[in-house]
Chains A and B, each alone.
Chain A
Amino acid sequence: MTPASTSEKGPAVRRRERPKRSRLRNAPWTPYLYLLPAAAFIALVFIYPLIEVVRTSLQVPAATGGTSFGFTNYEFMLTDPAFRQAVLHNLILLLSVPIMTVLALLFSLLLWEQMRGWKWYRAFIFTPYILAIPVVGLTFIYLYSADGIVNTALEALGLGFLTRDWLGDPRLVLPSIMSVIIYRELGFGTILFLARMMSIPTELLDAAKTEGANWFQVHRYVTIPQMRSVIEFFVVVEVITMFSWVFAYVYTMTKGGPGFSSMILEFYIWQNAFEFQSPGIASAVAVVLMVAISGLIFLQVRVRRDESGGDAEH
């Protein structure tokens, strides 16, 4: 096409196209059209499974070969001692969140101080986090077994009176699993906190030191308040982890035993869905778990907003 032809035909073409484009652009449904692919994707990936799980949770197999609908699965779940134990154990596992947070803060502060060999320590602390959970679980089976490395070492050190059946004793199995979770998740918290610390303006710290604040006061009144959002993020992530991401630890280490001493909600769901072929019960627990986690997060958001006087949203 030559410049001449453009000048001759161009305006005519534009005259024909312009009204069409503006009609499309100005149509009230146009934004929805643009949203449609994303909405369809979300519906398929999130909303359909959600509806399907709720529907399955209400389904009860009937002797005639079909299914009926009702709350039988929920009733069974609420009366099942194993379910109640699982809820209790998940709540107990939440205790590891403050422990992990405090330890991660402590380690990140020590690393931030750039103590001798801090880069090595940083790698050392983070390494467990990149290991697959089953690998960690199996390793700790060998460490924690009654005839495992921990007890053997204790006996060798003349501390035989401290030996325990760490995974076989119903009173110790949950704390033992908690220690493994902390061991692995600590690296994540430490690195997360360290990254945030490194972005704190040094002027703030210098000002505090000039005002005569000691090491503890600097961190208590300057560093930690600066890290509030990242600490909150870590706590939320770990709370969710304690409810919905600890299956692999329990599966590899104890399978919920001895008895139901380390039964947790995820394992309960898995067992019902795949071992006992009771998808209805599994789905009922999944629905309850989802509601519980959403409730916890809702609560956390509210607390945060209340504390910041409604500024958190800005």
Chain B
Amino acid sequence: MESWESWKRVREMEVVPLSNVRRTESPERGLGVRGLSRREFLRLAGVGAGAAAFPGLLAGCGGDQQQGNAPKTKSVEGKLTFWYWGESDAPGANQWMNETVKAYKEKKPDLEITVVPQSTATLISSFQAAASAGQGPDIASQWATGPVLAQVWQDAIAPISDYVPQEEIDQWLNTNENVYNGKLWAMPYYIIGIATAYNKEHYDKAGLHPENPPQTWDDFLATCEELKKSGVTPFSIGNQDGYGGAWHFSNMELQYLNSLQEWVNAMIGRAPFTEERYTGWYERLNFLVQKNYYNESVNSLTLDRGHAIFSRGESAMSFGTDGIVRQWQQDLGQDVVGIMKYPKVAEGNLAKAFNATQSISYFITSWSKNKEEAGAFLQFMHTPERMQRWYELTGVGLADKRFDASLIKDPVLRELYEWETTGSQVWLENYNPPQIDSEANLKAGQLIFSGSGTPQEAAQLWQSVAQRWRTQSPDDLKNWQSWHPEVSGA
């Protein structure tokens, strides 16, 4: 077996500048010009009109596009409207919310509360339309950090720390994900993390200790090799949508960093992404791919569909969040599925952190006429009986110190919840501006998994996409420059 060290040495000698790799040449030919007949003119005019229709479409769709989707919802005094999202992460969330509204109305019968479930596909765009119009719900949902702060910087959110007492906020976990300028802008409710799940039966068959999963990079490589020899796919994931690569990014790149500020520094141009500490991990991923440790279908399956491979027992390892691990246990058996933290690949301070996040965050809109009431309702969601009911319905752990973790009976899921709530937690993908995430993070992983790009090209991609973002979004850049994120539990 070719070792990681020898592979690394060879790869270091093979570095080729991107400009040399992708250069395409087009022959230039001179074109004589002569007059056009009327008929040719008309033909060209017709074609020109057709071609013009394309930019016309672009012009027609630009500018006020978001305004065109502006919602009809308006904040009305004495009436709370909540654009709610949670069901996709935690099936049962919508039922829980209905029950919560009912329970709150028993306390405040005069208050009218309307809950509007939001779809994943339009979660950001719908709220963006509301923010552009300056009107919408009283309480809304966005994914933590990047999406929340984007709305903070658009003045669409009122700081929740102005409407909820500090002693209540002190009970919440991972609040750091939405802190800016010393204020907390959104509320966490549940918490999810990325665990590396493994199939104990496959480990056993390959002669590996089922209770002793690999903790170092070398152990991990040896484990993959043994599993491959035993005839099973060592690691399965889907990356057609780029999220398989993004989950590797969250697990591997995080370990190279000493602080989140270090990551933001690259984003705002204070350090190049091409440095080892930012994109060096692609060498490791590339090594795993070249050794065929992943499922062959990795490039044509989405992350969701990739999960099904582990679920069918066709691979030995995969990434899963709490709900997915629970599903795998149901499919394969509680005794078969084990979890581990991703092996250690680097020595940064954040290598000790676990990949956990509150996922979705709830906040009070800046235009709400019921801010106090909205704050009270959000606080009500964190009462012990509501939290207990949440867990009963969804099986997802709460982002609250008061949650009784003994309710989690399964030892694997309890261990996962412990990882998510003790020590430091960072879901690094939250700290990418959306444009950079989709064009650099998701695409760079695809380059590696599909073999259509090298680790150097992946690094160069991050650099060029970030450069474009800085040029095209100077206002966002200014906000990012003024933001100094911190790690929870650090």
Q: Does A216 contact B (CB under 8 A)?
A: no
Cβ–Cβ contact B55 & A293, under 8 A: no
Residue from A45, A165, A274 with most neighbouring chain B CB atoms (10 Å): A165
Cβ–Cβ contact B452 & A258, under 8 A: yes
- Give which listed residue, B24, B48, B53, contacts A294 with CB less than 8 A: B48
Q: Does B200 contact A (CB under 8 A)?
A: no
- B439 / chain A contacts, CB cutoff of 8 Å: 271, 275-276
How long is the Cα–Cα vector from A277 to B65 in the complex, in angstroms?
Answer: 11
Cβ–Cβ contact A65 & B55, under 8 A: no
Q: Does A169 contact B (CB under 8 A)?
A: yes
Cβ–Cβ contact B24 & A53, under 8 A: no
Q: Does B242 contact A (CB under 8 A)?
A: yes
Q: Does A301 contact B (CB under 8 A)?
A: yes
- Give which listed residue, A60, A168, A275, A279, contacts B435 with CB less than 8 A: A275
Cβ–Cβ contact A56 & B59, under 8 A: yes
Cβ–Cβ contact B443 & A260, under 8 A: yes
- Which residues of B462-483 are within 8 A (CB) of A? 464, 468-469, 471-475, 477-478
- Give which listed residue, A56, A168, A244, contacts B300 with CB less than 8 A: A168
Cβ–Cβ contact B472 & A294, under 8 A: no
- Which residues of B399-435 are within 8 A (CB) of A? 435
How long is the Cα–Cα vector from A282 to B56 in the complex, in angstroms?
Answer: 12
Cβ–Cβ contact B450 & A258, under 8 A: yes
Q: Which of A18-26, A76-84, A126-134 contacts B (4 or more CB under 8 A)?
A: A76-84
Cβ–Cβ contact A259 & B62, under 8 A: no
Cβ–Cβ contact A287 & B450, under 8 A: no
Q: Which of B35-43, B91-99, B249-257 contacts A (4 or more CB under 8 A)?
A: B35-43
B217 to chain A, nearest CB (A): 25
How long is the Cα–Cα vector from A260 to B458 in the complex, in angstroms?
Answer: 11
- B468 / chain A contacts, CB cutoff of 8 Å: 76, 80, 276, 278, 281
- Give which listed residue, A76, A168, A259, contacts B443 with CB less than 8 A: A259
Q: Which of B182-190, B291-299, B327-335 contacts A (4 or more CB under 8 A)?
A: B291-299
Q: Does B239 contact A (CB under 8 A)?
A: yes
B366 to chain A, nearest CB (A): 20
Interface size class of B (residues with CB under 8 A): 35 or more
- Give which listed residue, A72, A260, A294, contacts B51 with CB less than 8 A: A294
Q: Does A224 contact B (CB under 8 A)?
A: no
How long is the Cα–Cα vector from A88 to B472 in the complex, in angstroms?
Answer: 25
Cβ–Cβ contact B471 & A244, under 8 A: no
Cβ–Cβ contact B299 & A49, under 8 A: no
Cβ–Cβ contact B299 & A290, under 8 A: no
- Give which listed residue, A85, A144, A167, A297, contacts B44 with CB less than 8 A: A297
Main secondary structure of the interface of B (DSSP, over half): helix
- Give which listed residue, A61, A170, A274, A305, contacts B40 with CB less than 8 A: A305
Cβ–Cβ contact B56 & A45, under 8 A: yes
Given A165-B296, A301-B40: A61 in contact with B474 (beta carbons within 8 A)? yes
How long is the Cα–Cα vector from A296 to B122 in the complex, in angstroms?
Answer: 39
- Give which listed residue, A65, A76, A80, A259, contacts B475 with CB less than 8 A: A65
How long is the Cα–Cα vector from A42 to B56 in the complex, in angstroms?
Answer: 12
How long is the Cα–Cα vector from A236 to B50 in the complex, in angstroms?
Answer: 12
Cβ–Cβ contact B239 & A49, under 8 A: no
- Which residues of B48-69 are within 8 A (CB) of A? 48-62, 65
Q: Does A46 contact B (CB under 8 A)?
A: yes
Q: Does A50 contact B (CB under 8 A)?
A: yes
Given A81-B464, A146-B297, A168-B298: A46 in contact with B472 (beta carbons within 8 A)? no
- Which residues of A252-271 are within 8 A (CB) of B? 254-255, 257-261, 269, 271
Q: Does A147 contact B (CB under 8 A)?
A: yes
Cβ–Cβ contact A84 & B473, under 8 A: no
Cβ–Cβ contact A279 & B62, under 8 A: yes
Q: Does A124 contact B (CB under 8 A)?
A: no
Cβ–Cβ contact A170 & B452, under 8 A: yes
How long is the Cα–Cα vector from A187 to B453 in the complex, in angstroms?
Answer: 37
How long is the Cα–Cα vector from A313 to B37 in the complex, in angstroms?
Answer: 7
- B48 / chain A contacts, CB cutoff of 8 Å: 46, 294
- A61 / chain B contacts, CB cutoff of 8 Å: 471-475
Kindly supply a per-residue 1/0 record for chain A positions 63-80, scoring 1 wherever the CB is within 8 Å of any chain B CB and 0 otherwise.
Answer: 101000000100010011
Q: Does A218 contact B (CB under 8 A)?
A: no
Q: Does A182 contact B (CB under 8 A)?
A: no
Closest 9 A/B residue pairs (Cβ) = A168-B299, A146-B297, A258-B450, A49-B56, A168-B300, A53-B55, A170-B452, A313-B37, A63-B474
- For the A-B complex with A168-B450, A283-B58, A286-B58 known, give 7 more contacts whose Cβ atoms are closer than 8 Å: A56-B62, A62-B474, A167-B240, A240-B47, A269-B58, A273-B58, A301-B43
**Can you sample 24 A-B contacts with CB below 8 Å?**
A42-B49, A46-B49, A47-B52, A53-B56, A56-B59, A62-B474, A63-B474, A81-B461, A88-B24, A145-B297, A146-B300, A165-B300, A168-B301, A236-B47, A257-B240, A258-B446, A259-B450, A260-B447, A261-B450, A261-B452, A276-B469, A282-B58, A286-B55, A286-B58
